[in-house]
Amino acid sequence: MKTRTLGKSGLEVSALGLGCMGLSFGYGPATDKKEAIQLLRSAFDAGVTFFDTAEAYGANEELLGEALAPFRDKIVIATKFGFKEGQPTLGMDSRPENIKAVAEAALKKLKTDYIDLFYQHRVDPNVPIEDVAGAIQDLMKEGKIKHWGLSEAGAQTIRKAHTIQPVAALQSEYSLWWREPEQEILPTLEELGIGFVPFSPLGKGFLTGAINENTQFDSTDFRNIVPRFSEENRKANQELVDLLKTIATEKNATPAQIALAWLLAQKPWIVPIPGTTKLHRLQENIGAASIDLTINDLQEIENAASKIAIQGARYPAHLQNRVGK
């Protein structure tokens, strides 16, 4: 697989990473451990070198630690800090002492002595970003982290943070059905030389075409509380999937591959991290890295997508107020 560099940080990763959250958190019951380890190792065998986890994803870091240990020196692991006791429901905690404690715990769980990329999971309104950056600098001096990043931060915070300690990457949602980052975030990142790591590049599964208005999610699946995934909104948003299916047929590809290829075509410093629990989906997603969309293809997608109004908020209100700070 081709590689990309996240902005001016020098951090080189596979053109597509793997979002590992869903293996143990967020989308229903955790994947069987043996199967999850097989998936992670298969990803590496297929050329994926960029793996994304977080303190907040249950036993996810331990899982990665075990699965990726045999080739630790050949991969980039990103993890995240910033929630009280590692639980999003309890709110934010980016106090320097918590950042350092989370880093120490992550090193043990990941079976490693350094973290390649350490993100602030959400901006903490109670802790100045200067204090956060200071804690990061301390960890860097100790060799415990190599690079740092922000997640779902607003342009003002990104600028302030980057002035104190250069930010390697921003991780936020971005896809054909959530394009808000194009307004202010992408120009800011380009100007400052910061990489962009889109999560949910397949719209939390919707852009694969495997979900429709009749889909029933597991009771523990967080999509149950996402307005965009209400039955009526899924029905309305099907139009975008239909567009992807049409283009995919022309390209002898799948809707998911077109959605990922579109993201890769936006900027050379964008590295999407689709997540999956299934081996065949992993292989399908990886196939997107070898699809080249022409300028005409991109224009065709743009023209058609601009006529489609996506229905429903991407977060319920209580989570929406945590982003873009």
- 186 touches 7 (CB < 8 A): no
Closest C-alpha among 89, 117, 116, 84 to residue 102: 84
| 97: amino acid identity, one letter | E
Domains of the chain: 3-202+266-291 (3.20.20.100)
pLDDT in tens, the chain (325 residues): 999 999 999 999 999 999 999 999 988 889 999 999 999 999 999 999 999 999 999 999 999 999 999 999 999 999 999 999 999 999 999 999 999 999 999 999 999 999 999 999 999 999 999 999 999 999 999 999 999 999 999 999 999 999 999 999 999 999 999 999 999 999 999 999 999 999 999 999 999 999 999 999 999 899 999 999 999 999 999 999 999 999 999 999 999 999 999 999 999 999 999 999 999 999 999 999 999 999 999 999 999 999 999 999 998 888 888 887 8
- By annotation, the residues acting in catalysis are 57
pLDDT given for residue 178 in this prediction: 95
pLDDT given for residue 275 in this prediction: 96
Residue with tokens 């719209």: 203
Question: What does the alpha-carbon distance between residue 231 and residue 224 come to, in Å, rounded to a whole number?
Answer: 10
pLDDT given for residue 320 in this prediction: 82
Q: What is the largest CA-CA distance in the chain?
A: 54
Residue 294, SS3? coil
> What contacts 185, CB < 8 A, 6 or more positions away?
155, 158, 170, 172, 196
Residue 301, SS3? helix
- In terms of phi and psi (left: phi > 0; alpha: psi -120 to 50; beta: otherwise), the region of 58 is left
User: DSSP E strands: which ranges in the chain?
Assistant: 3-5, 12-14, 18-19, 50-52, 76-81, 115-120, 145-151, 169-173, 195-199
Closest C-alpha among 168, 59, 162, 36 to residue 115: 168
Q: pTM value? A: 0.96
User: What are the b/e assignments for 142-181, b being 16+ CB within 10 Å?
Assistant: eebbbbbbbbbbbbebbeebbeebbbbbbbbbbbbbbeeb
pLDDT given for residue 317 in this prediction: 84
C-alpha 218: how far from chain center = 22
Tokens representing 105 are 């715990």
Considering Cα of 115, then 119, then 124, then 127, what sign does the dihedral take?
positive
pLDDT given for residue 322 in this prediction: 82
**Helix, strand, coil share (%) of the chain residues, nearest 5:** 50, 15, 40
> What contacts 297, CB < 8 A, 6 or more positions away?
247, 251
